[in-house]
Amino acid sequence: MSRRIVVGLSGASGAVYARRLVRLLIEAGREVHLVVSPLGARLLHDELGMEGVDLAALAGRADHGIVQHHHRDVGAAIASGSFVHDGMIICPCSNNTLACVANGKSDNLLHRAANVALKERRRLVLAHRETPLSLVEIRNMQLVTEAGAIVAPTNPGFYMLPDSIDDLVDFVVGRLLDLVGVEHDLATRWQNSPANFRSPDA
């Protein structure tokens, strides 16, 4: 039986992260439940050239099996605590979405599903992308962390000596997959670092 992951897509820049995340979840045999905010849909258009939410393009295959939920349908399955899943990732997560989740607002299904994940003590990962941070965002990050979420800024590491943007994307997405317990073979772990790397203290 495939395990479920809920993916929320909001309006912060970083559509490439969302696309790669969805594709790797599908490759790992996960049942993906997707909710896209209106600004998330605009993001897909502006950064990936999609007209609407093109699930086949997002998944990279026609037989994707993605279950999409409309952002206004707060009665959807993922809005219920009885809908069991293995984690929710909001990728990318905007400052507005961060604020709504941190303060318990449920203006749309994305916010509602995130708040349900918190109350049910399920893994919730916010792939925050915006920078710099004001004190407002910092306090919201504190609130949502205290509530049980994990704030995972989309900051790539460089110790793997990346050669391309794809390498940077994979580093971030690999960390997100780790946080919800999804296996992958991306080169993101410290033991996979180049053999000739030496610590300054070595």
Is residue 31's pLDDT more than 80? yes
Query: pTM value?
Result: 0.93
Q: So what's the pLDDT on residue 107?
A: 87
d(CA 111, CA 60): 27
Of 3-12, 50-59, 109-118, 191-200, the one with minimum mean pLDDT is: 191-200
Q: So what's the pLDDT on residue 183?
A: 95
187-198 pLDDT, tens per residue? 888 775 555 444
d(CA 134, CA 191): 35
Q: What percent of the chain has pLDDT over 70?
A: 94
Domain annotation for the chain: domains and CATH numbers: 4-177 (3.40.50.1950)
Among residues 180, 169, 172, the alpha carbon closest in space to that of 153 is found at: 172
122-176 pLDDT, tens per residue? 999 999 999 999 999 999 999 999 999 999 999 999 988 999 999 999 999 999 9
Q: So what's the pLDDT on residue 195?
A: 53
Q: So what's the pLDDT on residue 189?
A: 80
Q: So what's the pLDDT on residue 186?
A: 93
Contact between 95 and 89 under an 8 Å Cβ cutoff? The reply is no
- The arithmetic mean of pLDDT across residues 101-129, rounded, is 97
- The arithmetic mean of pLDDT across residues 21-43, rounded, is 97
d(CA 6, CA 193): 31
Sorting pLDDT into bands at 50, 70 and 90, what band is 58? very high
